[in-house]
């Protein structure tokens, strides 16, 4: 269902060869049905994390994928959830946390000018203007066994990213529904046609009797 999406990127040279998420030096959002798991690279001993949704489970992992202790304080200010994080040492690794996701739409305000990668839930895609698209268009789009992957390499001029996504078979299901509706419409027209003919025949018979 994302064929048109992929063709469009191919024409303008935006489809890139598959590259594993581990090599991506940006923030990765892996969308689930109820929450998104976020992985953000860090190289610091202190970090201020500003989120549009509240999270309760922030974990810091070093380069060996080992958990590193951290202290945090929380502040809600002007619609933002602000976490002040202090690590026991300067850490190069990943900050991992989760945020809630509702429905089949994901809106991400851009707080920092860093690359963003969003991985849709398995079995979902985007790119059909009737069913849902990504705005703005990503720099890269690829289909992966883990889900459709959208990447924005430069977010300096992007205020937010919005993705409306749908199941892979949504267009097929929609086509079937439209086909059933079309057949039902034809059946109603046929019934209406024969009803009109029947009424016309009754009226002509009444007029003929009136003339006798």
Distance CA 35, CA 55 (A): 10
Q: What pLDDT shows up at residue 4?
A: 45
> Do both 183 and 144 map to the same domain?
no
Query: Per-residue pLDDT for the chain (212 aa), expressed as one digit of tens each?
Result: 444 444 444 443 444 444 444 478 899 999 998 999 999 999 999 999 999 999 978 999 999 999 999 999 999 998 899 999 999 899 999 999 999 998 899 999 998 888 999 999 988 999 888 888 999 999 999 987 777 999 999 999 999 999 999 988 655 555 655 566 766 677 777 777 767 877 777 776 676 767 66
CATH number at 64 reads 2.60.40
135 in the same domain as 212: no
| Containing structural domain, residue 64 | 3-170
Claim to verify: residue 155 and residue 176 sit in the same structural domain: no
pLDDT recorded at residue 178: 57
**Rounded Cα gap, residues 35 and 38, in angstroms:** 10
d(CA 44, CA 50): 16
Please tell me the predicted confidence (pLDDT) of residue 3: 45
Q: Which of 155, 170, 185 is the last residue in one of the domains? A: 170
d(CA 202, CA 204): 5
Neighbours of 112 (CB within 10 A): 11
Task: Please tell me whether residues 206 and 104 are part of one structural domain.
Answer: no
Read off the pLDDT of residues 143-170 as tens digits, 9 standing for 90 and up.
877 779 999 999 999 999 999 999 886 5
Do residues 14 and 61 share a domain? yes
Strand, coil or helix: what is 5?
helix
- The per-residue pLDDT for 6 is 43
Residues 120 and 192 in one domain: no
CA 127 – CA 184 distance, rounded (Å): 30
Specify whether the CB–CB gap between 133 and 126 falls below 8 A: yes
111-127 pLDDT tens trace: 888 899 999 998 899 98
pLDDT at residue 62, rounded to an integer: 93
CA 17/CA 5 separation, integer angstroms: 16
Q: Could you tell me if 154 and 184 lie in one domain?
A: no
Look at residue 162 in the predicted model and tell me its pLDDT.
96
* pLDDT score for 16: 42
Domain count, the chain: 2
- Are 160 and 208 members of one domain? no
Residues 68 and 161 both lie in one domain: yes
């Amino acid at each position: 269902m994302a064929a048109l999406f992929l063709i469009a990127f191919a024409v303008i040279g935006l489809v890139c060869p598959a590259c594993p998420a581990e090599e991506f030096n940006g923030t990765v959002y892996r969308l689930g049905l109820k929450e998104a798991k976020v992985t953000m690279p860090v190289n610091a001993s202190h970090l201020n994390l500003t989120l549009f949704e509240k999270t309760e489970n922030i974990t810091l992992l070093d380069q060996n994928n080992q958990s590193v202790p951290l202290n945090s304080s929380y502040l809600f200010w002007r619609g933002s959830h602000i976490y002040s994080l202090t690590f026991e040492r300067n850490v190069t690794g990943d900050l991992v946390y989760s945020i809630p996701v509702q429905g089949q739409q994901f809106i991400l305000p851009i707080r920092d000018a860093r690359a963003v990668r969003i991985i849709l839930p398995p079995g979902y895609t985007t790119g059909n203007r009737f069913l849902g698209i990504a705005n703005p268009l990503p720099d890269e789009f690829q289909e992966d066994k883990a889900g459709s992957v959208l990447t924005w390499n430069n977010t300096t001029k992007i205020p937010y990213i919005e993705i409306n996504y749908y199941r892979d078979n949504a267009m097929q299901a929609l086509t079937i529904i439209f086909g059933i509706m079309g057949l039902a419409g034809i059946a109603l027209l046929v019934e209406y046609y024969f009803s009109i003919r029947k009424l016309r025949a009754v009226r002509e018979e009444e007029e003929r009797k009136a003339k006798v």
